[in-house]
Amino acid sequence: MSMKKWLSSLALVIVVLFVTFSCSKKNEQELGVGAVCDTNNMSYSADIIPILESICFSCHGNGLSENGINFDTYSGVKAVADNGKLVGAISHAAGFVAMPQSAPKLSDCNINKIKSWVNAGAANN
Per-position pLDDT tens, the chain of length 125 = 677 776 666 655 565 545 455 444 333 334 445 679 999 999 999 999 999 999 999 999 999 888 899 999 999 999 999 999 999 999 999 999 999 998 999 999 999 999 999 999 999 99
Asked whether the beta carbons of 55 and 103 are under 8 A apart, the reply is: yes
The predicted structure's pLDDT at residue 5: 72
* Residue 117 neighbours by CB distance under 10 Å: 24
Q: Which residues of 67-85 are buried (b: 16+ CB within 10 A; e: fewer)?
A: eebbbeebebbbbbbeeeb
Chain centroid to CA 4: 53
The predicted structure's pLDDT at residue 31: 43
